[in-house]
């Protein structure tokens, strides 16, 4: 007597694997960053009242914007992150149909974060803070 149940289990797993791979092959994940993101660890060296403009520029580079007056100056470092998730279901139809309509689900976020560093008239840091913390830093694959 031969047991054929193990053969069906292998076929089921193989078909299931192929279906999952087929579905995922239409997925596209993209992350686009403009300027290097600055994190709190990257600005840990800044000590208000002690850190100078040259030290900030040496560690973080040139700022994107400088705003100032005689009493103080503000450096602004901007960085943007875009995250896109896209699923195209139409390519599956080309197997059965010569015409493939667009069946695309997509979701994306674009966020701008800003680090501000305030200097006194002697170019010593008075304070620093992140002005925006965009939700684009988190990735959400849900397309709606």
Instruction: Give tens-digit pLDDT for 67-90.
Output: 988 889 999 998 887 777 777 767
| CATH number for the domain running over 28-89+106-137 | 3.30.1450
What span, in angstroms and rounded, lies between the C-alpha atoms of 25 and 47? Answer: 49
Task: Please give the pLDDT value at position 144.
Answer: 47
Q: Indicate if the pLDDT at residue 22 is higher than 70.
A: no
Task: Please give the pLDDT value at position 77.
Answer: 92
What tokens does 25 get? 């092959």
Instruction: Give tens-digit pLDDT for 27-79.
Output: 777 777 788 788 888 999 999 999 999 999 999 999 999 998 888 999 999 88
Q: Is 123 left (phi over 0), alpha (psi -120 to 50) or beta?
A: left
0.75 surpassed by pTM: no
User: When comparing pLDDT for 96 and 64, which is higher?
Assistant: 64
């Amino acid at each position: 007597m031969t047991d054929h149940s193990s053969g069906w289990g292998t076929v089921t797993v193989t078909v299931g694997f192929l279906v999952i791979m087929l579905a995922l092959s239409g997925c596209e994940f993209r992350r686009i960053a403009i300027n290097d993101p600055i994190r709190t660890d990257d600005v840990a060296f800044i000590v208000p009242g002690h850190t100078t403009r040259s030290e900030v520029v040496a560690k973080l580079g040139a700022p994107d914007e400088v705003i100032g007056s005689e009493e103080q100056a503000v450096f602004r470092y901007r960085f943007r992150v875009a995250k896109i998730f896209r699923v195209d279901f139409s390519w599956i139809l080309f197997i059965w149909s010569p015409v493939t309509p667009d069946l695309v689900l997509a979701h994306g976020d674009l966020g701008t974060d800003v680090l501000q560093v305030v200097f006194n008239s002697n170019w010593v840091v008075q304070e620093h803070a992140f002005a925006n913390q965009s939700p684009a830093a988190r990735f959400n694959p849900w397309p709606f």
